[in-house]
Chain A
Amino acid sequence: MDVNKNPEPFPGEIFEDESGNTNFLVSNIDKLSNWARSNSLWPLTFGTSCCAIEMMSAASAKYDWSRFGFEVARATPRQADLIIVAGTITKKMAPVLKRLYNQMPEPKYVIAMGACTITGGPFFYNSYTVVKGVDNIIPVDVYIPGCPPRPEALLEGMMKLQEKIRHSRAYVIDKPKKKENDD
């Protein structure tokens, strides 16, 4: 199999104005805020089934997600930054999940953990109640496949999310690009 030894960094952008210079202040504030956000992802304690147990394992001493600062799991969506959808989402649960997502303050991130949340599951895709992919309900940032994924996979996924946040832009606003044939 063709394995990329040196994967490229997560697709990011360089924020520059027309003259090609980056705005020092804005881009540094952006860097700072991205640093803070990426290093302090507080997950919502949300788990519906098997994957939730592996999520608990990721919190346990062997895997210890507190090393990355994820250990402040909040029970209320108001104080959470990240919702790890761990487990199957059924049609009855879907409105609840959507509501939880809406209750979270910006900026908020979503990790779809496990096959059930990504596609409806390796087994439950053919069920009358299961939502086939949580991205039908809420936007997802990182997908972690597995049934259930190992705690290492969850940590890797969360690190990928950190990387994604670091390359995102929070305060730089795009100027509308000039059209080439502007009359």
Chain B
Amino acid sequence: MQLSISLLEITRAIDSWLNSAFHPHVAYGIELVLAGVAVILLVVAMAILMVYAERKLAGFMQMRLGPMRVGKWGSMQAVADVMKLLLKECLVPTNSDKLMFRVAPFVVTIVSFMTLVPIAFAKGIQLWDINIGVFYITAVSSLSVIGILMAGWSSNNKYSLLGAMRSGAQIVSYELSGGLALIVVVMMSGTLSISGIVQAQADGWWVIKGHIPVIIAFVTFIITSTAELNRAPFDLAEAESELTAGYHTEYSGMQFAMFFLSEYTNMFVLSMVAATVFLGGWMPFHLAGLDGLNHFMDYIPGIVWFFGKTFFILFLIVWFRWTFPRLRIDQLLKLEWKYLLPVSIINVLFAAFIALMGWYL
């Protein structure tokens, strides 16, 4: 028996009420809007939270306090920043390609929201249980490079162009290892659907069950997702000390905030994917055979598990950022093509062999 009310019951209740009150088509439309609004609110709230958390964490890592004055413990700092950006003038440079310049931030933001679609937040809480969820995420998330290239090209600024080109090279290369890392788990669980992968981890997370190949895949995935996010130590696209601000050098106000938001959204999505695929998503910590432990873990609701894991990975990514120096562009590409990609390919072969023999736990 579960004491907590699961989110699934709440959504079911809303669904049945809407269906009884309205025509099913209308109800469906309302549900779509509600879900969309919920996701956007969640992302914006999490982005604000994350900005605050990152600044606080950075502060603590650097022996200082971080934001303190706005709200209790500076808790309203990120809110103030977002509001200021909203109210700031959006400049469009005279010699830029104005249409592309204005569209680019929307492209990047929409793409990052689109990747949220197949994520399972808790048991049954999923916008679209598509049967190719993992494939969908890898395919859609790489679209953001188009927005970045658009931004860099249309700004008519050489720093922006260099930043965008770097970003393009970086995202396209790191997609490969990232995809191969996901394939390892896909092979073992035998499904591309997110809910299927989560269900397959009911008796233990893949990172434990799949031992060596999955651990290698997990590490590869964290590295590649940091690179795909353009975050330090792979933040070459915006490398502040080299290219001032990279592809968004010319963006100001809300347009800049949208790049910022999309960066954070991508960060959540990739952390959520990592949490789902490798760390069991909303599945509690289960070990085959230990029923007492498994039963105890079930008392913690799935959404707590899910966000706990997500924040753990987010913390890792933040930790990287405030610790490592930046790589150079050729070293960055060398790391991918000479180390990560061969390792991933061999790892996939190894994982295939293990999956074939059924040697995972």
Interface string of B194-231 (1 = CB under 8 A from A): 00000000000000000000000000000000000000
Residues of B within 8 A of A56 (CB): none
Segment among A2-10, A71-79, A86-94, A122-130 that sits at the interface with chain B: A71-79
* CB atoms of A105 and B67 under 8 A apart: no
Q: For the complex, what is the distance from the CA of A74 to the CA of B256, rounded to whole Å? A: 12
- With A33-B83, A79-B252 given, is the CB distance from A61 to B63 under 8 Å? yes
Residues of A within 8 A of B9 (CB): none
Minimum distance in angstroms from A158 CB to a CB of chain B: 11
Kindly state whether residue B124 has any CB partner on chain A within 8 Å. no
Kindly state whether residue A66 has any CB partner on chain B within 8 Å. yes
* CB atoms of A40 and B77 under 8 A apart: yes
Residues of A within 8 A of B70 (CB): 39, 68-69
Q: Which of A21-59 contact B (CB under 8 A)?
A: 32-33, 35-37, 39-40
Q: For the complex, what is the distance from the CA of A129 to the CA of B206, rounded to whole Å? A: 68
- With A76-B244, A78-B252 given, is the CB distance from A69 to B67 under 8 Å? yes
Q: For the complex, what is the distance from the CA of A94 to the CA of B238, rounded to whole Å? A: 28
Q: For the complex, what is the distance from the CA of A34 to the CA of B225, rounded to whole Å? A: 38
Residues of A within 8 A of B245 (CB): 74-76, 78-79
Q: For the complex, what is the distance from the CA of A128 to the CA of B47, rounded to whole Å? A: 51
- With A36-B83, A105-B253 given, is the CB distance from A66 to B65 under 8 Å? yes
A-B contact count (CB 8 A): 92
Tell me the nearest residue of chain A to B70, going by C-beta. A39
Q: For the complex, what is the distance from the CA of A129 to the CA of B64, rounded to whole Å? A: 40
Tell me the nearest residue of chain B to A103, going by C-beta. B91
* CB atoms of A107 and B77 under 8 A apart: no
* CB atoms of B59 and A36 under 8 A apart: no
Q: For the complex, what is the distance from the CA of A76 to the CA of B245, rounded to whole Å? A: 6
* CB atoms of A71 and B55 under 8 A apart: yes
* CB atoms of B256 and A69 under 8 A apart: no
Kindly state whether residue A64 has any CB partner on chain B within 8 Å. yes
* CB atoms of B249 and A61 under 8 A apart: no
Residues of A within 8 A of B306 (CB): none
Residues of A within 8 A of B83 (CB): 32-33, 35-36, 40
* CB atoms of A40 and B81 under 8 A apart: yes
Interface string of B228-254 (1 = CB under 8 A from A): 000000000000110011001111110
Q: Which of B46-72 contact A (CB under 8 A)?
A: 55, 59, 62-70
Kindly state whether residue A67 has any CB partner on chain B within 8 Å. yes
* CB atoms of A79 and B80 under 8 A apart: no
Minimum distance in angstroms from A113 CB to a CB of chain B: 21
Q: For the complex, what is the distance from the CA of A66 to the CA of B245, rounded to whole Å? A: 20
Tell me the nearest residue of chain A to B90, going by C-beta. A105
Kindly state whether residue A106 has any CB partner on chain B within 8 Å. yes
Tell me the nearest residue of chain A to B86, going by C-beta. A36
List the 5 closest pairs (A to B, CB-CB), nearest first: A36-B83, A105-B89, A67-B68, A39-B80, A78-B252
Q: What are 7 A-B pairs with beta-carbon distances under 8 A?
A: A66-B55, A67-B67, A68-B69, A76-B250, A78-B250, A79-B256, A105-B253
Interface residues, chain A, with chain B CB atoms under 8 Å away: 32-33, 35-37, 39-40, 61, 64, 66-69, 71-72, 74-76, 78-79, 81, 103, 105-107, 170
